[in-house]
Amino acid sequence: MSDADKAVLIKYEIDYKEFQVTTDRIEGSVLFKPFELKQPFIRWFGFRLIYLVLFLIYVYTALILMQLALFNLIIVGVAVVYMSRWVTFLYALEHRQDYNYRTRPFKRFIESENERYFRKEKCELIGGEMGRWIEL
């Protein structure tokens, strides 16, 4: 820890040892490093299986509509546009779920440390995105 960081701790009247205990616990556990934590295979496979089922339902429905419209090219264009929107939506849903899975233990840890020590000293730790930094 640099002298500037120690000066900030002194300015906020935070015990250096308590802060060091918190940072050592973060560095010592993989659960508190979201950028190193990976999503379980079964969870990834479940999302991919849902994608496949929704894709097949969509393709079946689109083919039925095209047959009823006597293969109108406009219907094909509309089907492609809506399919790309579905794929984007499902990708965002999977990405958000993965982000929440990775950061949940880190956020809980930061909250417990705030309750344990830092709020008593009238300051608060704030965890950075994906656990790459913490801020007072």
Tokens of 95: 């990405």
H or E segment and range at residue 70? none
Identify the three-state secondary structure at position 135.
Answer: strand
* pLDDT attached to residue 45: 92
Distance CA 109, CA 129 (A): 14
pLDDT exceeds cutoff 90 at 110 = no
Tokens of 100: 């929440």
Distance CA 59, CA 115 (A): 52
Amino acid in position 126? I
Identify the three-state secondary structure at position 118.
Answer: helix
Question: Is the entire prediction scored with pTM above 0.75?
Answer: no
Greater model confidence, 2 or 53 = 53
Of 3-12, 72-81, 127-136, minimum mean pLDDT range: 127-136
